[in-house]
Structure 1
């Protein structure tokens, strides 16, 4: 079914392209074919030159046409010819880029649609060139097959048989097993490349065996056949992978090419609904049950499932209440676009997994149908009231101040991510000067104070923090203890960083710091102004990221004033 749909789609796209820009499309196919042939000859001729350099005369297995030339003349001629073919290859590639851009612009103009997404012309240009390259690859395969049948019919039969057996084998494996289920396109492309290499070595073995058994095929034509088979198998692999890649962009390409199609802004993987298929009530219990049974060790235990709103795209989660035990779990499944967040979250709990509030405890890391799945202990019985969200998020940040990150976590994070004092640099200063009342004064303060500010931030103790503190990500347990469940964007920051800096919330930092100092002795030397400095610096960095430069300038004034105050107190 997939192959039929792919070929039908490719046929409709090809028809559309050749109707709208026939001349450019034909030229793209011709130049692509010429570029491929030129590249092949440019790679083949130097081999002949090396053979001639190692021989005292022109080898007997060279074509009779070349025996009429002297060895030195032939070497020089082949070198010049190789350079000519390579130059033609470069020229053809340059023309291909221009023709592809022209064809893409013509196709977009013909569709008469609004701008659908960023870089749509570039996307269509690459797809157009790739599609034309696929057609040229098909033409090359056809021509090469005819040449192979003419030069060496036996090896043509070997290649055709290998391709037929491989195709049949893959089809049967796909239909009757689950070997390919859950694998990405990259795995498929690697497999196709490996199969192409296997086919080449099978052909090589057949050629060697045929010559050893007394075949009258000349060494020259055997070498030519080997190189031709290599190119045919490469083009076959490229033909398949390019078509699959283009088919993966079909929503975007259909919207750009066809009048009746619109673009919803969703990726193909999202449109397929494969992640949300796990949320089907008829399927959910089937795949969650083995996970819970692994945790509780009792296959007879019953449990209830409650799907929870995650507040994050491409992330689905459930609360699982185990009957009779009083235990409840949070099962999270990350979509493909959230795989990096899943890995980052898991890396935190490989080091800090004691179950201390508000961090929680990660019980299980698994894959479900190719999606990352995390299972947490989750003692939160109900969804948080949005009216309590601000207060609850501050409680999470306050609770994290009391947790001391281990040295191994600090080492791992500092080797992987830039710290706050490393993320703020001089590149932002020219932009800030555009919004400052006195740009010279700003530059003077920056140059005079920023090195000391960075040094102060660098010498402060670190604390764990997260920015994912929406009402869907936090909640209270039965004892009123706050917990958070989204840790895909955790980071280590100087104490105080991440605390809200508004006039209403900043005063509460003092109480949070005093409370944290009871659990972390290393915080007792941290002054309140140091923590405020970290809070302002973190807010400044976030404002610069959002290009909210007026706010950034205001924060910078507060940072400089606080830095001067700290320097005065310590002198």
Structure 2
């Protein structure tokens, strides 16, 4: 859509919103308009009067261009009076802003009550107050610009011609650039606030230079009018810029605003479109981009290829099974396309696969860009999805391999700078609610014992080696190779936690066996007790239950947590008695 069409539709939308506000809450809206204008007037005086005081401080007497009413006062008295007036104006400005905020809350609540709808999203009233406040301020800014225009027309019409000429020229240039340059269109959409501020500052400087040239080459008697004109012009351009910024910001949320303020309009969520991705997903274009991808990976596709959908069970990730035909040995690949709104997840997967090659993962062949869309390519080796009875074994097998995998130092450094570990997230405050759901004295006693051991638990978790934890272990992401090796096809969501984290708590015996097996392959586990790793596994699940408010499930873990926590207490007590 061309920019002028955007402007026309936005003006129509603003007109309908303005009529709605004046019809439903007229007194509140008019009050906010008047108060906002008064606020801007007081702010203008609060900045204007100190300039006069500075001029008086630097002169021996009251300048002749000051109003005649000031000439009868003594210089010191005038300085004190203007300084006091500036302070009073600033106080009135602050009081006006408080009144505006109060009336905006009232107006927004009245509009929500009038629409008589269910809550459509979180913080609805807060968003309504924000929208009402910004729109009424935009209306006041437009009115202030009109009043400023009339003031300039009276005291300095030449300057008004320059300002209007520049405004029209800048608008036409922006429309032309937006309509005919895709790159400029992207810049306008992403940096409209900076562009508007730059245009406003440029307009002020251009107008100021014209004013200076006018006074240098043409006779003028009242310099006081020029000072007022400069201040009014600057404030008018600032208000015009803020008005456009407010309207653009509100227009981006027009679906929510329409749903909140208009009874007949439900909340319509806009689906995010990615034309390049949708084009790649189209069946008619799959073979073309698959050949391009294989060519970038150095795979010969002269004998043809076959493409089929591969369900990955991840939001906005689209996977395809690509079979490159060969007379003797067809080759299988998995290509994953990532939507633009989850580019961070694609980057996380690349980072993990780059620094951690010994993961239970498909062989990663690299990252490629297809028309700006992130694509990860993997090699399949007769991999199949698991049947239902294999899923439990697959989850345990993946965790066993992660238990034996020493995280790369680079990953540990990056994660520790970004996210807290399990022991850093644990807090007494999330355990306290367990006291309220205990139904027997035995349960209450277990909770108290856990709280008494809290520092000990945190310390033991902190001393454990680290391991990579995958949050993508789902039935769709689990695969089994032709050699019966379980592997994951998706690694976008991963963490680094204390070793043992994310182990299925129902498989405690298999965890103990896995720990013994891992010690022979991972030196950092040699001096780590099995109870500490078991404690980590149960505390990781314990935290998840607490965050989900599943307190009965959390209570059921207390026996195992306390058993692992208190396993070494007698030994430590004996050592302390020997000392």
The verdict on a shared fold, with TM-score over 0.5 as the criterion, is: yes
Q: Deviations over 1:288-332 (max 9, x none)?
A: 776665443989897655454443444444455556683624233
Shift of 1:215: 5.4
- Aligned Cα root-mean-square deviation (Å): 3.3
**Counterpart of 1:384?**
385
CA shift, 1:262, in A, is 1.6
By how many angstroms is 1:170 displaced?
A: 1.9
Q: Deviations over 1:379-398 (max 9, x none)?
A: 27777346244433333222
Distance 1:385 1:62, change over 3 A: farther
408, 418, 435: which one pairs with 1:406?
408
**What's the secondary structure of 1:76's corresponding residue?**
helix
Aligned residue in 1 for 2:425: 423
Match of 2:532 in 1: 530
User: Which residue is 1:330 aligned to?
Assistant: 335
In the alignment, which residue of structure 2 is the partner of 1:204? 208
Match of 1:555 in 2: 557
Q: Aligned-pair distance for 1:61?
A: 3.7
Partners of 1:485 and 1:197 lie apart in 2 by 53
Which structure 2 residues correspond to residues 8-407 of structure 1 after superposition, within 5 A? 8-180=12-184, 185-214=189-218, 216=220, 219-263=223-267, 266=269, 268=270, 270=271, 277-278=278-279, 279-281=281-283, 293-296=295-298, 305-320=307-322, 326=331, 328-336=333-341, 338-349=342-353, 351-352=355-356, 354=357, 356-358=359-361, 361=364, 363-364=366-367, 373-379=374-380, 384-385=385-386, 387=388, 388-407=390-409
Counterpart contact for 1:319–1:331, Cα < 8 Å? no
Distance change in 2, residues 1:272/1:201 (3 Å): same
Aligned twin of 1:508: 510
Aligned to 1:458: 462
Any conservation in 2 of the 1:463–1:492 contact (CA below 8 Å)?
yes
Unaligned runs of 5+ in 2: none
Greater displacement, 431-440 / 278-287:
278-287
State the distance in 2 between where 1:194 and 1:14 align.
28
Q: Is the 8 A contact 1:497 1:538 kept in 2?
A: yes
2:568 & 2:188 partners in 1: Cα distance?
55
Q: Is the 8 A contact 1:303 1:323 kept in 2?
A: yes
Q: How big is the shift at 1:456?
A: 1.4
The Cα shift of 1:357 comes to 2.9
1:4 to 8, 13, 32: 8
Is the 8 Å Cα contact of residues 328 and 377 (structure 1) preserved in structure 2? Answer: yes
Larger CA deviation: 509-518 vs 142-151: 509-518
How far residue 455 of structure 1 moved from its aligned partner, in angstroms, is 1.6
- Cα gap change, 1:329 to 1:227, in 2 (>3 Å): farther
CA distance in 2, matches of 1:404, 1:286: 40
Please tell me whether the aligned partners of residues 35 and 89 of structure 1 are also in contact (alpha carbons under 8 angstroms): yes
Moved more, 250-259 or 458-467: 250-259
Partners of 1:380 and 1:483 within 8 A in 2 = no
- In the alignment, is the contact (CA less than 8 A) between 1:379 and 1:478 conserved in 2? no
Following superposition, the deviation at residue 182 of structure 1 comes to 5.2
> CA separation of 1:527/1:161 partners in 2, compared to 1, >3 Å: closer, same or farther?
same
Indicate the SS of the match to 2:471. Answer: coil
Q: 1:518 to 1:163 in 2, by over 3 A?
A: farther
| Residue equivalent to 2:548 | 546
Does the CA-based 8 Å contact 1:358-1:399 persist in structure 2? Answer: no
How far apart, CA to CA, are the structure 2 residues paired with 1:184 and 1:373?
25
Count of residue pairs brought into register by the alignment: 562
1:474 aligns with 2:478: yes
C-alpha contact (below 8 Å) 1:134/1:243 kept by paired residues: yes
Judged with a 3 Å threshold, the aligned counterparts in structure 2 of structure 1 residues 287 and 25 are, in CA distance, closer, same or farther, namely farther
The farther-off stretch of 407-416 and 468-477 is: 468-477
State how far apart, in whole Å, the 2-side matches of 1:286 and 1:228 are: 61
After TM superposition, the score normalised by the length of structure 2 is: 0.86
Structure label with greater radius of gyration: 2
- Give unmatched runs, 5+ long, in structure 1: none
For 2:395, what is the secondary structure of its paired residue? helix
